[in-house]
Chain A
Amino acid sequence: MDNQNTLINEVTDRDYRFGFVSDIATDSIPKGLSEEVVRIISAKKEEPEFMLEFRLKAYRKWLTMKMPDWAQLTIPEIDYQDIIYYAAPRQQPKYESLDEVDPELLSTFAKLGIPLEEQKMLAGVAVDAVMDSVSVKTTFKENLAELGIIFCSFSEAVKHHPDLVQKYLGMVVPPNDNFYAALNCAVFSDGSFVYIPKGVRCPMELSTYFRINAKNTGQFERTLIIADSDSYVSYLEGCTAPMRDENQLHAAVVEIIALDRAEVKYSTVQNWYPGNKEGVGGIYNFVTKRGLCKGEYSKIYWNQVETGSAITWKYPSCILAGDNSVAEFNSVALTNNYQQADTGTKMIHLGKNTKSTIVSKGISAGHSSNSYRGLVRVAAKAENARNYSQCDSLLLGDHCGAHTFPYIEVGNQNSVVEHEATTSKIGEDQIFYCNQRGISTQDAIGMIVNGYAREVINKLPMEFAVEAQKLLQISLEGSVG
């Protein structure tokens, strides 16, 4: 037992491994938010009129809204006038090959363990690297273009495909949805845009690495994924951030729209800087992610591994509007030190014969607090809807908290909704069993945690699964990994 405690302490004392600041000149506007700032952002990005209107509408709505306070989180006062709302790298080169890329940037990614060239060659992943807010590198674009797939930065999409953007932007997350979404709508600088045409199966995993870099810069990403009828796409998002003492705000919005028989798989590995051992610093991750199964037989899968951020407020949700649509939410959320996470999902069943599955695994250590908050709503017309939810919590150490707040609202007779949750710690008998077979306590904890999270990690694409497993290990196993 002592051994275990030492180990847990060791784990809890671990410093953030990816802490560094890369020195790239950025072009920012002064701190603060006003209608003027919204206009400047829109002008800088040379946006059409409808985008400016969209932003202003959101901004005016945002002024009337309050920060949500219902989550099991203690959020320090955030001064929204003390944030720079736009920052873009000064050089905006358009590279055709990796040789032209700023070596500083390349080495940053190398430190993160994301060698672009290697991925390009070996994994066949098209990487749209977002450094601060403007996309600086897009690979494999030509290959994708042949199939008619549009995978580009959001600003490019606004320029080249305004009709698509205008049609779908705000369809799933409207500007007045919530406080952070409204803020994002008003000031978002860039993000990714994906459009898969009818009947196309995207041949590779689409991937974006986000990274907050300039000091005091709130990052407001906007992602829009549209899968037209009978198409398929798997999208990967991963992030790590450099060490910083002042808290940074991250309020992204992700919208997914799946039309008839389309399938979208969205996987995230999130490893923003979580603050140091005393809970100083770290990223505030207030994200709105939502998918709309618009067409019949459409499918949306959310897979996430959350290990970073000081405060996480994130509920990737699905609206199952099309008949026979399917949604899945698989999540591993790990909190350590003084991290707080309030995360979960909403499954709104509107169409007939819709099915959703929720698997949420929480791991809390140190002084952290980890909550699952989910809603399953079956509307009266959603006949034969089916939901199964399972949320398990694993506690390491007696100063941490694991909470579960499921909401289940069923409005008709032929739907079946099930929810189960358990909370436990790693059993002494389990560790003893491993010790007995010559496995050290340290390895045993690693094995058990990985086994516990396997169900979710297995859902991730190959490339990500390896990284996710590594992340869990370095987040928990101290010396290992």
Chain B
Amino acid sequence: MTESTIIETAEQRILQLFTENKTLLDEGAGSLLRNHREVSMKAFQRMGIPSRKVENYKYTDLTKLFSLENYNRAFRPTSFDFDMQEVFTCDVPEFDTHILFHVNGWYFYQNRTDQFPKGTIIKSMKSAWKENAELVETYYGKIADSSADPLVALNGAFAQDGVFIYIPEHVVIEKPIQIINLLRSDEDLYVTQRNLVVLGKNSQVKLMFCDHTLAIHSFVANYLTEIFLGEDSIADVYGIQNQHNGTAYLNGLFVHQGRNSQLITNTISLHGGIARNHLHVDLLGENANASLYGLTLTDKDQHSENFTSILHSKPGCHSNQIFKNVLDDSSTGAFTGRIHVLPGAKKTEAYQRNNSVLMTKAAKMNTKPQLVIDNDDVKCSHGATVGQINEEALFYLMTRGINENEARLMLMFAFAHEVLANIRVEPLRQSIDRLVNKRLRGEVSRCHDCKLECIR
């Protein structure tokens, strides 16, 4: 079969899956949501599975992934008998979090949500469709545009569950909310998850997404999170991705920011077969501030891409992006960043940087930092480097009696630390520091304090 016929059959299979399971998918959803699902599927049919000829997917090949036939789908929640809260505790000292589990894209029924302040809503997306229909329908699918991206469309078409978080006005949640997404199955699985986070005026929240795989089977995960930041609100979003090499992780984070709101995202990719993070931020209010950071460590034949786009549409907004890659063995990496400043967005400051270190001959890095500026009152810059550890710095350390290997590690760690330094939860930062340190030494395949046995 030629590539185009493979893609065609894959697209037909997806359509068939959609029509056959339509009733199951629509369970509990109101007419607006059903409509959104319908529109998303149509959009997907129009765009199809993106090949590398599609500019936005130039550096990540998804056709192979979607042409595999033996993936099952998690149309129903997977059942577990044991108490997850007991089994899993991220045992970081002084690091206390609210823990919410997802298994194969489904909100875990034993999640405890009783300790949140009054007015806060934290529940499964599926029940929110029923119980908070009005609220959900105001934001759902409004931030991530199904007609613009085939993966968003696919998520919109197949999304059944995820977490819905609503923080009312003036509520500050001090303890980070840790959302642990587990993949566990006895067969190869395709997983869809859809989250929606709405922050009311002047509220604050810290979210931490941890992604793990608990089975030897292959997974394709299509996750999408929409975050709406109301006026003066602050959101920290940390993502730690630690999956085995059989996992393809396609993650979307779409944010709308209101006036004076602040966003920090920090994506740490430690492991994963194929990882593609799509970050999209619309700065819709004046003086909004967005900082996007990412660190990716890849080895073997892993592939990772960070794809960011930031839209400045109002005056006085700031954005800053720093993405770093360390590529070992025959891994490949990609970075695509786009800053778009619209005509009215005066006094914009937007910066973007991608630095990569290639450790071996076979490793490969593609980077595409883009600026689209339609306004003269801006300060924008971008930069990209691909290179190696500085030989002079290495030599300097060695003259101080540090052996080469150790010196190299020190420099690598220093390289990575610029990203890690931006984590605002101190105990978390320390723990990730340690984790990255161990990862660079090749000693760790999982969070060292975690009791779960993630299989590589």
What is A's interface to B at a CB cutoff of 8 Å?
70, 72, 380, 393, 395-425
* Known A393-B373, A424-B379; 12 more pairs at CB < 8 Å: A395-B373, A404-B369, A405-B370, A408-B367, A409-B367, A417-B385, A418-B384, A419-B369, A423-B373, A423-B378, A423-B380, A424-B380
A56 to B386, CA, bound (A): 43
Contact of B381 among A407, A409, A423 (CB under 8 A): A423
Once bound together, how far apart are the Cα atoms of A404 and B371, in whole Å? 5
| A415/B387 contact (C-beta < 8 A), A398-B376, A407-B366, A423-B380 known | yes
**In this complex, what residue of A is CB-closest to B372?**
A403
Known: A393-B373, A405-B368, A417-B387. A399 touches B378 (CB 8 A): no
Chain B positions 341 through 369: 1 when the CB is less than 8 Å from some CB of chain A, otherwise 0: 00100100000000010111111111111
Q: Contact at A422–B381, with CB atoms within 8 Å?
A: yes
CB-based contact A413/B366 at 8 Å: no
Contacts of A418 in B (CB 8 A): 383-385, 387
Residues of chain B whose beta carbon lies under 8 Å from any beta carbon of chain A: 55, 343, 346, 356, 358-388
Bound complex: CA of A28 vs CA of B141, how far in Å?
59
Contact (Cβ within 8 A) B343 A398 = yes
How far is A10 from B358 in the complex, measured between Cα atoms in Å?
51
CB contacts (< 8 Å) of B356 on chain A: these are 410
Residue of B nearest to A369 (CB): B374
Tell me whether A424 and B378 are in contact in the complex, defined as CB-CB below 8 angstroms, given that A395-B373, A409-B366 are known contacts.
yes
Query: B388 contacts which of A398, A402, A416 (Cβ < 8 Å)?
Result: A416
Task: Check B386–A408 contact: CB distance below 8 A.
Answer: yes
From B363, which residue of chain A is reached at the shortest CB distance? A413
A37 to chain B, nearest CB (A): 33
Indicate whether A406 sits within 8 Å of B384 (C-beta atoms), given known contacts A393-B373, A398-B375, A401-B373. Answer: yes
Indicate which residue in A380, A399, A402, A408 contacts B373 across the interface (CB closer than 8 Å): A402
Given contacts A410-B386, A421-B383, contact A380 B371 (CB under 8 A): no
Inter-chain CA distance A442–B376, complex, in Å, is 18
CB distance from B393 to the nearest CB of A (A): 14
- In the complex, which residue of chain A has the Cβ closest to the Cβ of B344? A398
B385 touches A413 (CB 8 A): no
Docked CA distance A399–B369 (Å): 23
A349 to B: closest C-beta gap in Å: 12
Contact B381 A412 (CB under 8 A): no
In the bound complex, residues from chain B placing their C-beta under 8 Å from that of A396 are: 376
Q: A417-B387, A418-B385 are in contact. Are A410 and B371 (CB under 8 A)?
A: no
Least distance between B425 CB and chain A CB atoms (Å)? 32
Closest to B348 in A: A423
Please give me the residue from chain A that is nearest to B385 by CB atom.
Answer: A418
> Would A425 and B376 count as touching, CB distance under 8 A?
yes
Min Cβ gap A378→B in Å is 8
Return the 10 tightest CB-CB contacts between A and B, nearest first. Answer: A395-B376, A416-B387, A420-B383, A410-B386, A404-B371, A423-B380, A425-B376, A401-B374, A413-B358, A422-B381
Within the assembled complex, what's the spacing in Å between the Cα atoms of A422 and B363? Answer: 29
Q: Is the CB of B55 within 8 A of A70?
A: yes
- Which listed residue (B346, B362, B371, B385) contacts A416, Cβ 8 A? B385
With known contacts A398-B343, A401-B374, A419–B360 Cβ distance under 8 A:
no
Q: Is the CB of A407 within 8 A of B371?
A: no
Residues in B with CB closer than 8 Å to A70 are 55
**Which A residues touch B375, using CB under 8 A?**
395, 398
Known: A70-B55, A399-B343, A412-B358. A423 touches B386 (CB 8 A): no
Contact, CB under 8 Å: A422 / B370? no
On whether A414 and B364 interact (CB within 8 A), knowing A402-B373, A420-B383, A423-B373, the answer reads no
